[in-house]
Amino acid sequence: MAYPANYRYTKEHEWVNAKDGVATMGITDYAQHELGDVVFVELPEAGKKLETGKSFGTVESVKAVSEIFAPVSGEVLEANPALKDKPETINSDPHGAAWMVKIKLSNPAELEKLMDNAAYEAYIAAKGKEASA
């Protein structure tokens, strides 16, 4: 799967799509692949304040639970309601329909610190080499 060029990415495999002070975020294709079949997602409610680097939710597969870390800080405007009934969307469309939260950015400059798609693809390629070494 391609990594959209206008998104930004974190080392913890989250993506951010920012526009006009609002950021949509989710987890990457790499992350969903590592997790396996997603069975449940726990997301914050509107109004919750997110802090960069802090956990704001969880993604569960049958055998594991992973925390999702905020790539940037801001206030939650909306959590994706579709993921409640169809958590499997994270596996099929992690960069699109499986967006997790939309937030109002509190510090847009934080976006600069994140990787672009080329850097992220290089990052996960290196990880892949590590794993099979």
Partner 1 sequence: MRYLPKSPAERQEMLAAIGAKSIEELFESIPEKYRLRDALKLPGPFSEAEVIDYFKQRARENSLGYTSFLGAGVYQHLRSVITDTILLRGEFLTSYTPYQAEISQGTLQAIFEFQTLMCQLTGQEVANASMYDGSTATTEAVLMAERLTGRSRVLVARSVHPEYREVLRTYAKNSGLHVEEIGYTKNGTVDAAKIKNALKDDVAAVVVQSPNFFGVLETLPGIADAAHAAGALLVVAIAEGVSLGAVKPPEEADIVAMEAQSFGLPPSYGGPFAGVIASRDKFVRQMPGRLAGETTDTDGKRGFVLTLATREQHIRREKATSNICTNQALCALAATVHLTLLGKAGLREMAEQNVAKAKFALSELEKIPGVKRAFDGPFFNEFTLEFPRSVRIINGELLQEKIAGPLALGTAYPELTKHGLVCVTETTPRSEIERFAAAVRGILSKPL
Partner 2 sequence: MEKMTDKIKKATRHTNQNEGLIFEKSSPGKRAFELPPLDVPKVDLAKALGAQHRRDGVEGFPEVSEIEVIRHFTRLSTWNFAIDLGMYPLGSCTMKYNPRVNEFVARLDGIATEHPYQSQELSQGCLKILQLLEKCLLEITGMDCITLQPAAGAQGELTGLLLIRAYLEKQGNARKKVLIPDSAHGTNPATAVIAGYEVQNIKSESHGQIDVDKLRDLVTEDVAALMITNPSTLGIFEERIPEIAEILHAKGALLYMDGANMNALTGVTRPGDLGVDVMHLNLHKTFSTPHGGGGPGAGPVAMKKFLEPFRPVPILVEREAGKLALEQVRPDSIGKVRAFGGNFGVLVRALAYILAYGPGVRQATEDAVLNANYIRKRLEGVYDLPYSLPSMHEVVFSDAKQKRNGVNTMDIAKRLIDYGFHPYTTAFPLIVPGALMIEPTESESKEECDLFIDAMTSIAQEAAATPELVKTAPHTTRVKRLDEVGAARRPVLRWKPASHSKAAD
Binding mask 34-53 for partner 1 (x = CB under 8 A): -----xx-------------
List the one residue out of 55, 56, 32 whose CA is nearest residue 45.
Answer: 56
Distance in Å, CB of 42 to partner 1, minimum: 8
Residue 65 interaction partner, one of partner 1, partner 2, none, beta carbon < 5-8 Å per kind = partner 1
CB-neighbour burial class of residue 117 (10 A; exposed 0-12, middle 13-18, buried 19+): middle
Binding mask 22-41 for partner 2 (x = CB under 8 A): ---------------x-xx-
Give the tokens for residue 78. 């909306």
Question: CA 27, CA 9: separation in Å to the nearest integer?
Answer: 9
Q: Assign 76 to helix, strand or coil.
A: strand
Residues at the site binding partner 2, with contacts judged by CB under 8 A: 37, 39-40, 60-63, 87-88
Residues at the site binding partner 1, with contacts judged by CB under 8 A: 39-40, 60, 62-65
